[in-house]
Amino acid sequence: MPLTPSVCGGEWSRLSTNGTAPRRWQAPQPSHAAAALLLYVTAVYLPDIGRGFIKDDFAWMTQYELATVADAWRLFGRNNGFYRPVVGLTFGLNRLLFETAPMAYGLTNLLLLFACAWGLTLMARSFGLSIGAAFCAAGLWLLNPHGINMALLWISGRTALLVTLFSLAAVVAVRRDRQLAAATFALFAMLAKEEAVVLPLLLVGDRLLATAPRANQRHQAARLAGLALLLAPLVVYFMLRLRSGAMTPSTAPPFYTFTYAPGALARNVLEYLDRTVTFPIGIPLVLSAAVLGQLPAIGPRRYTVLFALAWIAGTFSLTLFLPVRSSLYVVLPSVGSALIGAMLAESAWTRASARRRRVLVGAVIVLLVAAWPAYRARNARWVDLARLSAQATAEIRRVAADLMPERTLVFQDDRSGKVNLDSAFGTLLSDAVALTTGKPFTIWVEPPLLGEEPARGAPPAPETIGARFQLIDGRLCGSKTTFN
């Protein structure tokens, strides 16, 4: 957790070793703490990013290719069930520049993560937090064990990073009274992920509460025009979405159909509160109580707290009603809880004595060192899936290189472990094969991939099978059949 602004002024005096002159302990500068934080996050995640593509990654790469400027424009009229053309554009640019090198895609996610952290810093500053507290907000968001690793290590998780980045940019712009820029960023956020549909309402609410209307009729007209401009992205977004034919609540598959069952909603509320609030708000409270012997108070920034709470509630307004749960859904809402946590940390720091500040710095360092193995262990799931994907696609490319596309590729999966073809590829194994080989092979998987049973059809005739693959001890092994 980065240190708060008053860190620069913290001092701890004691006698020097010769007993003649006092030495002063100077707490780290906020910029130094921020640099240490970025190095820590980089060290946690860099070894594990870009190991391979998983599930939806293959669909993004095959469906959103870019060859001309016209291709980029056409992306805004297409859908892959969802309507997220900004995400498709980033995948298209990655493939145009780096083809199918997963490390380049992973590094793109890492840059987006750090851009979000900088955006959160600017947003916190716009609400009056000092530079140290703003860095603290970014640190609490980056170090949240829920959602960040998934958004970074699963390349398709950049949907959460992009919606967060553009949402933060919109808030910073509107608080600088740049409504056109704010409206543009809000539109980009909605074109990245659906949770941002509430963003224009948050921006309008901020302008209504943060700026008092003037009696002058001209100023009132300008104010109304600015508010209308902030709502315009909603109209543009829904027009584009309807034109694309993307799914709606009435046409969504069962796992994306809203549920209003009390039990399901209660479970969603409890789980998402835990993933969103426990770390960013709980850590400042616990450290303050344990080290400083007191609970921090928010102080005069009640409006900022209200905005943060509205942010959390608003950005959960869609995902809370989905029967499927995902840690990706907490990446955007946890911005609000990180903002509250930073205010608590700033309050605790300013009320602490110089000696207790030194103890607090030590406690943060010890906590980060102790948490290191846990962060690394939480990466394992995504690394294992990516490794299997990379090994499997390499094996498919080797075996099927000279096969005719009329042949069928048969896969024997092993579901006894958590890492298997279904968990690594899902129903997008055919997309992975097409991307890997450049050929439209028909595939057959035993047992069936989850979700493909209704359209499975008849098994292939033996003479049409070109190669057989089997997952053995976590590795895919393949060989051509004798019918080639």
Nearest to 1 by CA among 299, 293, 272, 281: 281
Say yes or no to pLDDT of 328 above 80.
yes
Spatial CB neighbours of 263, under 8 Å, sequence gap ≥ 6: none
Q: Are 439 and 400 in contact (CB under 8 A)?
A: yes
Contact 64, 75 (CB under 8 A): yes
Sequence-distant (6+) residues with CB within 8 A of 52 are 102, 385, 386, 387, 388, 389, 390, 393
Average pLDDT over residues 279-306: 84
Is the predicted pLDDT of residue 231 greater than 60, yes or no? yes
- Cα distance between residue 24 and residue 255, in whole Å: 60
Q: Do 188 and 163 meet the contact criterion of CB atoms below 8 Å apart?
A: no
Run of H or E including 76: none
DSSP sequence for 111-143: HHHHHHHHHHHHHHHHTT--HHHHHHHHHHHHT
11: pLDDT strictly greater than 60: no
Averaged pLDDT score across all residues of the chain:
88
pLDDT, position 292: 76
Given a contact cutoff of 8 angstroms between Cβ atoms, the answer to whether 422 and 415 are in contact is yes
Res 452: pLDDT? 66
CA distance 116 to 325: 23
Q: Is the pTM of this model over 0.85?
A: yes
Which pLDDT does position 397 carry in this prediction?
94
Query: Would strands 442-446 and 408-412 be described as parallel, antiparallel, or unpaired?
Result: parallel
Residue 354: its pLDDT value, please?
82
Most confident range (mean pLDDT) of 214-218, 308-312, 402-406 is 308-312
Identify the band that residue 211 occupies on the pLDDT scale cut at 50, 70 and 90.
low
Phi, psi angles (nearest 5°) of residue 449: -65, 140
**What residue type is assigned to position 461 of the chain?**
A
Over residues 263-289, mean pLDDT: 93
What sign does the CA torsion over 159, 164, 167, 172 have? negative
From the list 191, 188, 180, 199, the residue with the least C-alpha distance to 123 is 199
What the block records as the tokens of 15 is 């006698």
Indicate the domain borders of the chain.
Answer: 5-378, 388-480
Taking the C-alpha atoms of residue 309 and residue 333, their distance in angstroms, rounded to an integer, is 9
Give how far the C-alpha of residue 345 lies from the chain's centroid of Cα atoms, to the nearest Å: 24
For residue 262, what pLDDT band results from cuts at 50, 70 and 90?
very high
Tell me if 192 sits within 8 A of 166, measured CB to CB.
yes
* Dist. CA 210–CA 124, nearest whole Å: 15
* Residues ≥6 apart with Cβ < 8 Å to 178: none
**How many Å separate Cα 343 from the centre of its chain?**
23
E strand or H helix that includes residue 77: none
pLDDT of the residue at 8: 35
Cα distance from N-terminal residue to C-terminal residue, the chain: 60
Question: Please, what is the angle between helix 354-378 and helix 30-45, to 10°?
Answer: 20
Separation between Cα atoms, residue 437 and residue 392, nearest integer Å: 12
**Contacts (Cβ under 8 Å, ≥6 apart) of 361:** 3, 27, 28
pLDDT of residue 15: 35
Give buried/exposed letters for 391-404 (b at 16+ CB in 10 A, else e).
bbbebbeebbeebe
Helical residues (DSSP H) of 127-197, grouped into ranges: 131-142, 148-153, 158-175, 179-190
Rounded to whole angstroms, how far apart are CA atoms 176 and 107?
31
